[in-house]
Structure 1
């Protein structure tokens, strides 16, 4: 009751601010604008990162039910709208805004991505008979300790969740300790890996065996790659290199590095499609280069940029090479190394490693298959989750939603 009274008081002040020119975003969050259309599934993610991670699940569910996406940020809202889905800012956790939103949207299922717990939203959804679910759920030890001091607030919220897929075992255990029912727990999924895991992997192909992709390279890395390519090509005639800078605007700079070594410059931005060295200085074509290469060096790892994700080359069954600087994805690279799916390299041994893999394609193919298998294991199978969410939505079907 104290929380509800405080929420009503806060809402009165916010409505006054909105009427006095508080901005369109505030009016939208208070649902003082045009109300949402009736929907079947209400998906909420805090912002861009959460919604991107869940995009595969959201778009799959949108194939057979109407979906409304909300976010706390305009960038998240606008991104979801760009996917062709109805999207708006989420209602604030105050009674009037939530009431107006739910009166208009009339969802059959409320799905939250990752880790937001709104007590009033939870209570009003339950009062209207709307099932609640969460995917990619995560909660840190620090957050769990804070919520543990407010068990009277968090336990009812978690107790109303009918289906939850955690991001990791630690989060699942912490949520159970705070009040999540055992019956709500679904198999864990790593949402961020569902999209790469959904890519159909290419078959083994001799045409890929001697193609090396240096993907998303940064300043200081292209020179190392080119020197290694020259040495590796001497040991492995017929070796080809696709050099894809992280920022295609650096195309002129990288082309100059190629020319300075007396090598022919073939630029994708100028229409080149295949060459001994292909400078892939365009946007939106990385999937094409992964599909053509059996060996992939992950950029940002030879210089101290923290390394980019290894899961994209894993999706395409590439043998993965990486430098020593992988702090952005340290645990993932370590797991791939242990699985024999990736190899750490330095500027000094890069050429020898590439030459060995290109001349012994069975090793590179084995690495690629191991990388893909680990990706699929880490991503998990979304089918049980999707089936459970559909069942919850169907169980809440009402005749007023046509």
Structure 2
């Protein structure tokens, strides 16, 4: 491909991060959450890397993601999917041995009907809303739905194998809601178990709770962003502090380099004007490629940081749809084709996704997940060739669309 930028994904870093997360939660299994195309890193390659690091579960928010994992030949790990609307292909998921979350009475009824249709027991995790106010059964709803679930379990339509919830303030481990939600969850676990469900797993901890709240580890932890080496609690510790290494490096080549005089406007609306004779460099990626427009820069407030050689400069002026401009300084010697790094591991002092998040007023999760699929992914680490993102995604999608078949 001739695209002048790429996201280089270090699969060995993903595997190493999972090993670090296992050390933080030694009494629990690890579910590597690979939703949103593995936070932009590539669904199937990232999932394989997480399994190499010791994950035994994979978490996919969307059912198509779960089916794509199975279609790619990942038949061994347990896969959980949880975000679906009425009419979702539940029968296909059950045939593919995908665990299903149930967040409402209506969802339970659909799962039971689908299981009976295909003549196979559905593996169900009851999702409880313990205080986040998002998806899930309220405690009152759980008490109402549980008898129907147990009846369906008794006749073989489903097996209640898990119960789970999600924390609202996991990134603030001392926040009172963490203890409160933990209490509601513990009550829900007791209710379900006392009613006769033989649960395999109870899970509450996301990345932040995996790293900071061991009291909520239970049988299984569900790290997401930490799998990819980014700290979920940057105010408490950096990636390195938690033994994590950012897995994605977003890099490009300079498209053009030119010298301009002092007082020259740069990019739309001239919110950046050069204060001296200087050299401008154009990087051929912009907001269509995932560079946040909120990371535009002014002379007073530098934009998103970009590593050029051994120095870091901020985006000058507005981020455009497909390019950004850098003020390289009057003594710049860079030439078109020279490599620049928008973000990476930070090991050499270069910018990280967290640095971009601070400039853009967002979180590192958004920075990596918004890198467009049009930006090629290149995979390194974990000996052996890894298919490109485009090839692996096309293969997985084709397999998912064709049904489960022999790949399972």
TM-score tier, shorter chain, comes to 0.3 to 0.5
Question: Which one scores higher on RCO, CA 8 angstroms, separation ≥ 6?
Answer: 2
TM (norm. structure 1) is 0.35
TM (norm. structure 2) is 0.35
Decide which structure has the larger Cα Rg and report it: 1
- Which structure is higher in strand share? 2
